[in-house]
Amino acid sequence: MTRNDWTLTSTTADLRRPPLPTSPVTFDAQPQQLTIDLARTAIVVIDLQNDFCHPDGWLAGIGVDISGAQAPIAVLADFLPWLRSRDVPVVWVNWGNRPDQANLPPGVRHVYDPAAEGNGIGSTTGPSGSPVLQAGSWAAAIVDNLKVDARDIQVDKYRMSGFVDTPLDSILRNLRVDTLLFAGVNADQCVLNTLTDAANLGYDVVMLEDAVGTTSPSYCLDATVYNVRQCYGFTTTTTALRTQAN
């Protein structure tokens, strides 16, 4: 039985959903201590892909220092199996452009390509030889250090927000989750945009500070953390959540 289902017979339809067991956990967070129900929680992991994080990928190939983008990988490699053991859904939200780019407007195609030199998100000739962030390509694949479980859910996105022009909201509502943990890159760009839309849609949002990274200057991350705490939700660390849940 799924998280969101009816009980049907030939003569009756019971529209009550199956009860979800509660799994509360209280842990240190900012701006205050936080209690969530892991049974109603999912983690959204954003853009930990070769083109963003691999030395042979797109960003490194155009001269971007990717060390900040690589920082969350080891943290999540350790943390995600623990979440799965608690039956917390793992949702990967990654750039996955259509090969024909039919839904990519110019403002997206030319990100990181201000002079229109063909180096942007819409480039068909990335530094690795793989089209930049094209669905199904090596460039768009999740980095090898992070293993995708058969139970995980993958969603392609085409904007800074994972909610625009994607089924992400429908999937999360079908999972019957209220709280979203956020991880991935870039913290101040795609992670923040997706988190902001989630908060605007009514989800409770928690950014995992040690599981996000960015290639932007440090003040961008500082401002992001401040704004998440001030305007949208909470921040914590994987260590705080995991240690205090045990």
CATH class (in words) of the domain with range 24-245: alpha beta
pTM for the structure as a whole = 0.95
Tell me the three state secondary structure of residue 14. strand
CA atoms within 13 A on the CB side of 207: 33
pLDDT at 112: 86
pLDDT in tens, 75-129: 999 999 999 999 999 999 999 999 999 999 999 988 888 888 888 998 888 788 8
Residue 1 has pLDDT above 70, yes or no: no
Identify which has the larger pLDDT, 124 or 64.
Answer: 64
Judged against a pLDDT cut of 60, whether residue 209 lies above it is answered with: yes
Domain boundaries, the chain: 24-245
What pLDDT digit, counting tens, does each position of 7-19 carry? 999 999 999 998 9
Closest CA relative to residue 44, chosen from 189, 166, 205:
205
Query: To the nearest whole percent, how much of the chain has pLDDT over 70?
Result: 99
pLDDT value of position 109: 87
Q: 135: buried, middle or exposed (CB in 10 Å: 19+, 13-18, 0-12)?
A: middle
